[in-house]
Amino acid sequence: MRGMSTIEIVTKKDVELVDITDSVEKFVQGVKDGVCIVYTRHTTGALFINENENGLKQDILGLLEKLVPKDAGYHHDKIDNNAHAHLRATLLSPSVSIPVENGKLVLGTWQRVFFAEFDGPRRRRVIVKVIGE
Ligand code: ZN
């Protein structure tokens, strides 16, 4: 299998965690053995894998807000008032790679794939590239 697919996400808040696992999994149907690369080209959003539990999602956002508060005198805020969003995205990653077996993502029972919005609301795109057969 070759090629690249895109998932569109419309975020509704300035900061938001969106579970995109089901959308990603659609692209690995029929792939017996491979790897799925999920990647975003945005600089104020990121990807990560963890559990979809409401309290935990609040904790993750709370941790990032504590580590990188808004308006803390960042240089980038002089030209674009969203340095905190770039810095939070930098602490995560623009991509995750997941093994694929028998048409399924090889994820742990509690693992889900998230898009993290740090400068919403916006229309976002996530690229899914599946390598395998
Ligand atoms: Zn910026």
Residue 115: Cβ within 10 Å count: 24
Query: What is the Å distance from ligand 1's center to 36 Cα?
Result: 29
Query: What is the Å distance from ligand 1's center to 85 Cα?
Result: 8
pLDDT tens-digit profile of 71-112?
999 999 999 999 999 999 999 999 999 999 999 999 999 999
Query: What is the Å distance from ligand 1's center to 79 Cα?
Result: 8
Query: What is the Å distance from ligand 1's center to 89 Cα?
Result: 11
Q: What is the pLDDT of residue 9?
A: 98
Query: What is the Å distance from ligand 1's center to 4 Cα?
Result: 27
Bridge-based pairing of strands 123-132 and 112-117 is unpaired
Residue 67: Cβ within 10 Å count: 11
Task: Please state whether the peptide bond connecting residue 94 to the residue before it is cis, i.e. omega within 30 degrees of 0.
Answer: no
Query: What is the Å distance from ligand 1's center to 96 Cα?
Result: 23
Residue 79, domain extent: 4-132
Query: What is the band of 120 on the pLDDT scale with cuts at 50, 70, 90?
Result: very high
Q: What is the pLDDT of residue 3?
A: 74
Judge contact between 20 and 113, C-beta under 8 A: yes
Provide mean pLDDT across the span 45-69.
98
Q: Take residue 61 and report the two structure tokens written for it.
A: 């956002």
Residue 54's CATH number: 2.60.120.460
Provide mean pLDDT across the span 34-46.
98
Q: What is the pLDDT of residue 57?
A: 98
Residue 2 in this model has a pLDDT that exceeds 70: no
Q: How many independent structural domains does the chain possess?
A: 1
Q: What is the pLDDT of residue 47?
A: 98
Provide mean pLDDT across the span 21-37.
97
Query: What is the Å distance from ligand 1's center to 58 Cα?
Result: 24
